């Protein structure tokens, strides 16, 4: 009887151990599942970062193509459009840098920084550079009004159309819903739309110059482009400068 009683106790302890083991497994499994799930939460900034990276890449290629083709085809409209696209490469590039820096330094406890200061410093520097570029384009365009050269309209128009297509693709990538949007991605989207408008203007100017023999329209388009770049640069210098020195109105 004592042996049977001992076996019964052993079986009971064994069942109890299995129950505890199963409970621990279930608890550990549930804990590991929730833990792994927490590492895969959706972060809109990750999506925005990848989108801006793609847009910066394709826009930079189009920028180089337009500026280079502008000098080869002797089209001031194309040169101005290419340099205007440069302003947006800078702007969208700054947005991408902000996302990368925010992600990188958000994962460490050793450093801290203000993202708006990084954007302001980079924006201020690029705006000053582009202001000189605007002055150069303006000078060249005015000179072309009086010394019209032979413009290779066909090639210039093709490249301008490519630039417009790049802007359309970029707008598609940067299109966002209100739920997962922020000021950076909205600003980049507006930059692309504005550049698409200037691309369309350059195409119209080149077509009119070609088919209506109004070659001065190409130079005029360059002048307009230089004014747009200068206006954008002055605005950026003003706004980024205020951010850098923390220029704010005092609350009375």
Q: What is the pLDDT of residues 199-217, one digit of tens each?
A: 898 999 999 999 998 889 9
Q: What angle do CA 218, 56, 68 make, to 5 degrees?
A: 35
Residues in the chain, overall count: 252
Task: State the pLDDT at residue 178.
Answer: 55
pLDDT along the chain (252 residues), means of 10: 45 48 46 43 69 91 95 92 86 82 72 71 80 90 84 94 93 71 69 84 92 91 89 84 81 70
One-letter-per-residue 3-state SS of the chain: CHHHHHHHHHHHHHHHHHHHHHHHHHHHHHHHHHHHHHCCCCCHHHHHHHHHHHHHHHHHHHHHHHHHHHHHHCCHHHHHHHHHHHHHHHHHHHHHHHHHHHHHHHCCCCCCCCHHHHHHHHHHHHHHHHHHHHHHHHHHHHHHHHCCCCCCHHHHHHHHHHHHHHHHHHHHHHCCCCCCCCHHHHHHHHHHHHHHHHHHHHHHHHHHHHHCCCCHHHHHHHHHHHHHHHHHHHHHHHHHHHHHHCCCCCCC
Task: State the pLDDT at residue 228.
Answer: 86
CA–CA dist 59, 129 (Å, integer): 19
pTM for this predicted structure? 0.70
**pLDDT tens for residues 91-118?**
788 878 878 887 777 666 676 667 677 7
Task: State the pLDDT at residue 108.
Answer: 67
Map tokens 């959706």 to a residue: 42
């Amino acid at each position: 009887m004592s042996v049977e009683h001992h076996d019964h106790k052993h079986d009971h302890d064994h069942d109890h151990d299995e129950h505890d083991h199963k409970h621990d497994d279930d608890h550990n499994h549930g804990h590991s599942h929730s833990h792994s799930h927490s590492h895969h939460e959706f972060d809109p900034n990750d999506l925005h970062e990848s989108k801006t990276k793609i847009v910066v890449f394709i826009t930079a290629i189009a920028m180089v193509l337009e500026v280079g083709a502008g000098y080869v085809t002797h089209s001031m409209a194309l040169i101005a459009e290419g340099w205007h696209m440069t302003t947006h490469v800078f702007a969208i590039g700054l947005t991408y840098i902000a996302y990368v820096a925010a992600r990188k330094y958000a994962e460490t406890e050793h450093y801290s920084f203000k993202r708006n200061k990084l954007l302001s410093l980079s924006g201020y520097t690029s705006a000053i550079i582009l202001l000189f570029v605007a002055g150069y384009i303006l000078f060249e365009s005015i000179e072309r009004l009086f010394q019209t050269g032979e413009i290779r309209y066909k090639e210039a128009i093709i490249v301008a159309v490519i630039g417009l297509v790049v802007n359309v693709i970029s707008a598609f990538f940067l299109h966002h819903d209100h739920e997962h949007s922020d000021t950076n991605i909205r600003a980049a989207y507006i930059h692309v739309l504005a550049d698409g408008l200037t691309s369309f203007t350059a195409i119209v100017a080149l077509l009119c110059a070609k088919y209506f023999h109004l070659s001065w329209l190409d130079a005029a388009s360059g002048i307009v482009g230089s004014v747009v770049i200068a206006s954008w640069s002055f605005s950026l210098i003003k706004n980024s400068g205020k951010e850098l020195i923390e220029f704010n109105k005092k609350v009375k």
